[in-house]
Amino acid sequence: MAEEYAEDGIHVGHVIVDGAIAGDKIFNRFPSASREESLISIEAIVNAFAFLYGQPTRGWSFEFDVRTSRVKR
């Protein structure tokens, strides 16, 4: 896909969101999770996608993972 759409200026990327997202769905199902630092913030996901979208065409990243820095043990 990346090769097929590159000439049209379309960047194809592979994004992995590795973990639970701190949003209404998780909070409704697990009320005690509201203070968990191990959840991925929605803002972090938005920032990652904004970075991917705004990259200069001469230095595109193809793949990145979004996860928290805190590992639950």
pLDDT of residue 32: 80
Distance CA 34, CA 24 (A): 9
| Amino acid occupying residue 3 | E
Whole-model pTM: value is 0.73
Q: Provide the residue-wise pLDDT of the chain in tens; the chain has 73 residues.
A: 888 988 887 888 889 999 889 988 888 888 887 667 788 999 999 999 898 888 887 877 888 899 887 765 5
Distance CA 32, CA 12 (A): 37
